[in-house]
Amino acid sequence: MKDQLRREWVALMQEGVHGQATRFRLRATRLSQLMRTVSPELAAALASGLAETSALTRLAPTAGPAEVPDLLSVEAEPILSAMPHWPRSVAAELRQIVYEWHAQDALITAGLHPIKTALLHGPPGVGKTLAARWLAIELGMPLATLNLAATMNSYLGKTGQNLTKVLGYARTHACVLFLDEFDALGKRRSDDQDVGELKRIVNVLLQAVDQWSGPSLLVAATNHESLLDTAIVRRFEATIEFPAPSSQQVGSVLKSLGVPPSLATSLGRRLQGQPISNATRLVTAARKRAVLGQIDFEAALEIMVAEQFKAQSQVESRRNVVATLHEAGKSAHQIAKELGVSHTTVLRDLKVISED
Ligand SMILES: Nc1ncnc2c1ncn2[C@@H]1O[C@H](COP(=O)(O)OP(=O)(O)O)[C@@H](O)[C@H]1O
Ligand SMILES: [Mg+2]
């Protein structure tokens, strides 16, 4: 107990000096609980002191908002938009990261360190962004998100500068640095002039991942792991695969959103393999219909799911026809006229067909 208290006090002071407000607050709360057995009066005084400050003041962060680099969005106290439901393998790997961070003192004493870099990959809408948020909350750190796709769209010279600033920020400010759409790195087509700069940017990132140290956890996410160079993937200490959602997973999410168990189970079966975000969107839409149109929520939900399937199969059959006509040598204009759809729809279909 004494040892633990001593460690906690030292850590608390270090966090205070470094201005790690969220961690400081969490540790101070834990300390006041630990102190209860040793000195109830001091514990009570600590707790009430903390309560007083919580509403009014926050410890000054090491850098003010003005120093946050362009395109980096920092949420000091991230919140979850939904209760996450991950497959057991994913949950276990995420929990391991949290566990190692909470036990980092023991690891560091043994010359080790907690997992500092993680790559999350899997289809869209299965909870990767949710996982980054969840990690930030569990670790008591702000969430700093950089959307790489957006960054890469800007002028490359600027991209490089921005990235360097963002990495520098995370090296001096404890946070979960979340690099979303990480594959954008490999996707950018560049003209000859840009090639050197692009290589430089990729190298900066590779080195950063390789040698990541300091107070932050680096989390990258991608929907297209296959687009990433294996040289990049193997640099991460943890690679977590988010599989396409199973019927149980979708069912659990639906249940947690208030869908009655038997309906959740049957819809889970129908919506498995699709983005979970899709299922949550249908629930919201159904709830709105129920509120506005006085339709029963369950009936509305079943109708919405059926409508979605109908729309999907319509799109699929139209695409088959477009593909056949295209193979027969018809132009997009001719196909559009023949099917009575817009030229843009045909172009979009052709693009999807060519990507398949
Ligand atoms: N595993 C999950 N558990 C609960 N809700 C989920 C899950 N995955 C996705 N969702 C819902 O879909 C939304 C979008 O998910 P998100 O984490 O952004 O997906 P990704 O980053 O994998 O594309 C979430 O805000 C949540 O409402
Ligand atoms: Mg995402």
- Fold classification of 65-241 is Rossmann fold (3.40.50)
| Ligand 1 centroid distance, CA of 82 (Å) | 8
Question: How far is it, in rounded angstroms, from Cα 51 to Cα 32?
Answer: 11
Distance CA 27, CA 8 (A): 7
Q: Give residue-wise pLDDT tens across range 251-277.
A: 999 999 999 999 999 999 989 999 999
SS3 140: coil
CA quadruple 166, 171, 177, 181: dihedral sign: positive
| Residue 57 pLDDT | 37
Distance CA 261, CA 180 (A): 34
Closest C-alpha to ligand 1, atom 13: 277
Does ligand 1 lie within 6 Å of residue 133's CB atom?
no
Residue ranges per structural domain of the chain: 2-56, 65-241, 247-355
pLDDT of residue 161: 86
CA–CA distance, 325 with 320 (Å, rounded to integer): 9
Q: Is the CB of 145 under 6 A from ligand 1?
A: no
Taking the CA of residue 131 as reference, the ligand 1 atom at the shortest distance is 17
Question: Can you list the residues of the chain whose pLDDT is less than 50?
Answer: 54-63, 66
CA torsion 33-94-74-63 (nearest 10°) is 60
Condensed to tens digits (0 to 9), the pLDDT of residues 275-284 reads 999 999 999 9
Characterize the bridge pairing of strands 72-75 and 117-121: unpaired
Q: Is 86 in the pocket of ligand 1 (CB under 6 A)?
A: yes
Whether 245 contacts 274, CB under 8 Å = yes
Q: Is 282 close to ligand 1, i.e. is its CB under 6 Å away? A: no
How far away, in angstroms, is 80 Cα from ligand 1 center? 10
> Angle 276-293/261-271 helices, nearest 10 degrees?
130
Q: Contact at 8 Å (CB) between 119 and 220? A: yes
pLDDT of residue 66: 47
Write the single-letter amino acid at 280: T
pLDDT of residue 99: 97
Residues 6+ positions from 226 with CB-CB distance below 8 Å: none
Q: What is the pLDDT of residue 36?
A: 76
Establish whether residue 241 lines the binding site of ligand 1, counting it when its CB lies within 6 angstroms of any ligand atom: no
Residue 85 beta carbon below 6 angstroms from any ligand 1 atom: yes
What pLDDT score does 55 carry?
Answer: 41
Residue 82, ligand 1, Cβ within 6 A: yes
Predicted pLDDT of residue 53: 59
For residues 301 and 78, give the distance between their C-alpha atoms in angstroms, rounded to a whole number: 30
Q: Please report the atom of ligand 1 found closest to the CA of residue 83.
A: 4
Instruction: Enter the tokens of residue 133.
Output: 């948020």
